[in-house]
């Protein structure tokens, strides 16, 4: 071992030294580089490498950062930590040898090699409060201002009631930039047809342009607009009057759709002057603004002087169709008037309370620095987004005393912010984390009996750039949970595979994905109806319990459990098909409540946080060993369902006795569709693969042209019968003395079921007729069409089913609904 007596250069460290110097990321001398082992020890306790996610990937380094860490980090170590560093420094000679290439071996204080490998770099459970957070990574086309935007949390002292339309609200005519003056316009936004290629901290390189209008003097009252910060998305502002502005929102990056979320800043305000703002390019024909919802405003001076934060403001609120409808899809406008509280103030407007990626990181940092919470809340990086931002995964559970106790724990999986513009989901998640990480006895009990897997922000890229619905792939992630494109949809792919592995280890009691809703008030759930008789109606128990625990916020009547084909790619349906019975999408309104004590009032941050607590409380009720509440809810659900079926039948003019076998009617036929949900059209392949997919599709069509399918089973049966009779007739005419085709063994030419055999088969199945029921519309509602009546049979059907083969003869198993 004589070669250990001298220091040998490490080729890897030598290469990295020159590489960093070449790109200007490292300016120190080569001698200041720490050894590999010390570097890794430093990384494990340094926020510069832990929360900023610099795992040897694409993140920018801070100059001289390694040298600074050598001097700053040991100051906060215990004596044991200093001893470990000293031991590693002794062995740095061994690690610098080209013969020992592994940097994964652990060393103890006795200078001996421990054969255990280091924990993977993506796994970490504690952070230091020293140093900066990870700066968000932006697409290289996006300009980003250097200011840090921060808002205080505040709960209004009085309820904020809905705006009551008078009917006299002015509808301003849209004049556009031809008759107005552009005072703000982004010129570095990716255009439609382009796709994401690269990202960097700070976005676009170079000098940040001043996009706001130039003031001509102190008397110039032009507002100064800005949105080039986290979650901002104002594209253009046009001044069309002294105090009147038309605003154009930026669509989701790399798309031409999804304008709903807005968040921007104005400066140079004037007090006691009525301003009018009109957003001119919204895409949804219906909105909560039409039924009383108000925009949110934040005054920087009010926050500084009076500690007042976001509040609902606005008068003469009107949602209407744009009169300049010259595009491929109709546009809608939102207009409102407002008076600013101060002169020369800085104010913000938003669709809902913003919650940015930086806000999440600050929250996670506070959890990691809490010596108690960090013991039962382990934080890791689930994956990297397309832009390289970390998608965090929290595992929350109390340590188990035995392996058997740990294995017996069931799991609960919660996620939020797959749609970046639905910030209300983050506030519900924030309230859930506040409670589950607290020292409350109920929280401790939940941690004792469950393992919670929490993904607080599934789409950090979309949140950062201010998208409403899509990721940087230009697609709605909540339509791609069945994807195999890991590189295009990493957040969804890794989430699904994490849950798949979790299901192999333990039972998952509950999956819930938090969302926001732009057209309905209150909070409600979408679930999946189970066809398993053993679990009949069980998926509705949790939502009913939640409605009882939060009666002034949660509406069970708005819940829906129908599984539609267009929703097959959503997290709710995919997890349900993977075996999670209680799989839900939680929809929280952008508006407020129409229930109980909070009727006609907007939701506040505190209201949404409280729902996170109610979710925890309901989980305890749902799993209570005393099944009294569960049984009562199940019985109440059966009664509610009976009432709904009677109501449907009465609408059709039928009076039927459902006692005994009413439960055999498929629930999917009773419920309307979830067409009220915020459906998305961005469910195709990633934009960069779209042209390739079109090419392949055209080739497949030319290679395998589709045969024209008959529309219904009745038509197919008639066609089979016709073909069969034609063959029989042909055989009879050609050879009247010969045997029939079937007797001669020519069964390959015959239909699968002859008419005679079909009649015998149908006669053995009570309740089925030869003809099929009419095709039902997929866009259904509760009311029937005025001139259409269902063809109900006149006879009643048996009280119960003998077995699965003999099905009851209720009206073709369908409750008809019409668009």
Catalytic residue among 587, 644, 671, 743: 587
Three-class SS state of 383: strand
Locate 625 and state its tokens.
């060993």
Q: In what order do the strands lie in the sheet with 377-384?
A: 377-384, 390-396, 450-455, 410-416, 508-517, 583-589, 523-526
50 in Cβ contact with 131 (< 8 Å): no
- What is the rounded CA–CA span in Å between residue 229 and residue 607? 27
Q: 595 with 551: CB under 8 angstroms? A: yes
Buried b (16+ CB within 10 A) or exposed e, 296-334: bbbbebbbeeeebbbbbbbebbbbeebeeeeeeeebbbb
Closest residue by Cα to residue 417 from 395, 396, 392, 383: 392
Give the pairing type, strands 410-416 and 450-455: parallel
Which strand (E) or helix (H) includes residue 675?
A: none
| SS3 state of residue 454 | strand
659: left (phi over 0), alpha (psi -120 to 50) or beta: beta
Distance from the Cα of residue 133 to its chain's centroid: 24
Cα 319 off chain centre by: 26
* DSSP H or E stretch at residue 617: helix 605-622
Packing angle of the helix pair 441-449, 605-622 (nearest 10 deg): 50
Taking residue 354's Cβ as centre, other Cβ atoms within 10 Å add up to 23
Task: Tell me if 561 sits within 8 A of 626, measured CB to CB.
Answer: no
- Contact in structure between 260 and 351 (CB atoms under 8 Å): yes
Query: By three-state DSSP, how is residue 340 classified?
Result: strand
Query: Alpha-carbon distance 144 to 561, whole Å?
Result: 43
Neighbouring CB atoms inside 10 A of 279's CB total: 26
Q: Label residue 44 left, alpha or beta by phi (over 0 means left) and psi (-120 to 50 means alpha).
A: alpha
Pick from 303, 306, 332, 329: nearest CA to 319: 332
Q: Are 237 and 246 in contact (CB under 8 A)?
A: yes
Phi, psi angle pair for 296, to nearest 5°? -100, 140
Active site residue 109: no
Closest CA to 169 of 313, 322, 324, 320: 320
Residues with active-site annotation: 587
């Amino acid at each position: 071992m004589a070669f250990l007596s001298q220091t040998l250069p490490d080729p890897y460290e030598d290469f990295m030294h020159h590489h960093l110097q070449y790109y200007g990321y490292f300016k120190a001398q080569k001698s200041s580089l720490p050894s590999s082992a010390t570097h890794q020890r430093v990384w494990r306790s340094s926020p510069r490498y832990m929360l900023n996610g610099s795992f040897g990937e694409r993140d920018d380094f801070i100059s001289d950062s390694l040298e600074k860490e050598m001097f700053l980090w040991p100051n906060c170590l215990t004596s044991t930590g200093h001893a470990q560093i000293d031991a590693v420094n002794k062995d740095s000679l061994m690690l610098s040898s080209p013969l020992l290439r592994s940097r994964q071996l652990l060393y103890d204080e006795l200078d001996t090699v421990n054969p255990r490998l280091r924990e993977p770099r993506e796994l970490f459970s504690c952070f230091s409060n020293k140093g900066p957070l990870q700066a968000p990574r932006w697409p290289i086309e996006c300009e980003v201002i250097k200011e840090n935007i921060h808002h205080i949390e505040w709960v209004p002292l009085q309820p904020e009631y809905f705006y009551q339309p008078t009917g006299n609200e002015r509808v301003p005519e849209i004049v556009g930039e031809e008759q107005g003056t552009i005072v703000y316009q982004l010129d570095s936004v990716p255009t439609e047809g382009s796709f994401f290629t690269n990202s960097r901290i700070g976005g676009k390189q170079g000098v940040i342009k001043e996009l706001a209008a130039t003031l001509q003097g102190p008397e110039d009252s032009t507002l100064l607009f800005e949105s080039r910060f986290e979650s901002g998305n104002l594209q253009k502002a046009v001044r069309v009057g002294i105090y009147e502005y038309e605003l154009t929102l930026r669509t989701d990056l790399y798309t031409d759709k999804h304008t709903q979320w807005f968040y921007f800043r104005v400066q140079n305000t004037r007090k006691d002057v009525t301003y009018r703002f009109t957003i001119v390019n919204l895409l949804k024909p219906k909105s909560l603004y039409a039924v009383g919802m108000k925009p949110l405003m934040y005054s920087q001076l009010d926050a500084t002087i009076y500690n007042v934060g976001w509040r609902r403001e606005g008068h003469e609120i009107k949602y209407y169709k744009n009169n300049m409808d010259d595009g491929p899809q109709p546009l809608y406008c939102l207009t409102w008037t407002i008076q600013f509280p101060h002169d020369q103030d800085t104010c913000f407007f938003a669709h809902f309370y913003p919650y940015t990626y930086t806000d999440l990181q600050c929250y996670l940092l506070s959890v990691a620095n809490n010596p108690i919470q960090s013991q039962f809340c382990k934080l890791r990086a689930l994956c990297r987004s397309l832009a390289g931002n970390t998608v965090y995964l929290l595992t929350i559970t109390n340590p188990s005393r035995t392996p058997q106790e740990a294995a017996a724990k069931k799991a609960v999986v919660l996620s939020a912010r797959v749609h970046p513009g639905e910030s209300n989901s983050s506030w519900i998640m924030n309230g859930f984390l506040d409670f589950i990480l607290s020292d409350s006895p109920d929280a401790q009990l939940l941690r004792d009996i469950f393992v919670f897997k929490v993904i607080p922000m599934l789409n950090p890229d979309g949140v950062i750039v201010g998208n409403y619905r899509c990721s940087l792939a230009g697609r709605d992630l909540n339509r791609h949970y069945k994807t195999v494109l890991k590189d295009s949809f990493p957040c969804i792919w890794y989430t699904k595979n994490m849950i798949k592995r979790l299901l192999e280890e333990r039972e998952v009691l509950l999956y819930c994905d938090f969302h926001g809703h732009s057209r309905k008030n209150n909070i409600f759930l979408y679930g999946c109806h189970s066809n398993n008789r053993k679990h009949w109606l069980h998926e509705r128990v949790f939502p009913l319990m939640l409605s009882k625990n939060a009666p002034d916020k949660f509406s069970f009547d708005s819940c829906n459990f129908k599984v539609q084909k267009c929703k097959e790619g959503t997290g709710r349906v995919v997890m349900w098909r993977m075996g999670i019975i209680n799989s839900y999408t939680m929809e929280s309104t952008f508006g407020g409540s129409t229930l109980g004590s909070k009727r006609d009032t907007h939701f506040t941050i505190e209201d949404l946080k409280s729902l996170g607590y109610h979710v925890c409380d309901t989980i305890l009720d749902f799993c209570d060993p005393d099944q009294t509440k569960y049984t009562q809810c199940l019985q109440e659900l059966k009664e509610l369902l009976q009432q709904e079926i009677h109501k449907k039948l009465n609408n059709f003019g039928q009076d039927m006795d459902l006692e005994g076998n009413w439960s055999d009617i498929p629930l999917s036929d009773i419920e309307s569709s979830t067409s009220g949900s915020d459906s998305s059209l961005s469910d195709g392949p990633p934009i960069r693969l779209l042209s390739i997919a079109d090419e392949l599709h055209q080739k497949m069509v030319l290679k395998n042209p589709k045969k024209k399918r008959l529309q219904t089973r009745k038509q197919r049966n008639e066609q089979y019968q016709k073909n069969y009779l034609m063959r029989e007739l042909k055989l009879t005419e050609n050879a009247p003395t010969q045997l029939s085709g079937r007797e001669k063994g020519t069964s390959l030419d015959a239909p699968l079921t002859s008419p005679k055999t079909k009649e015998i088969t149908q006669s053995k199945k009570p309740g089925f007729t030869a003809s099929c029921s009419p095709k039902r519309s997929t866009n259904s509602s509760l009311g029937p069409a005025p001139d259409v009546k269902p063809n109900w049979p006149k006879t009643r059907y048996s009280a119960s089913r003998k077995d699965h083969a003999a099905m009851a003869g209720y009206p073709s198993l369908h409750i008809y609904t019409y668009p």
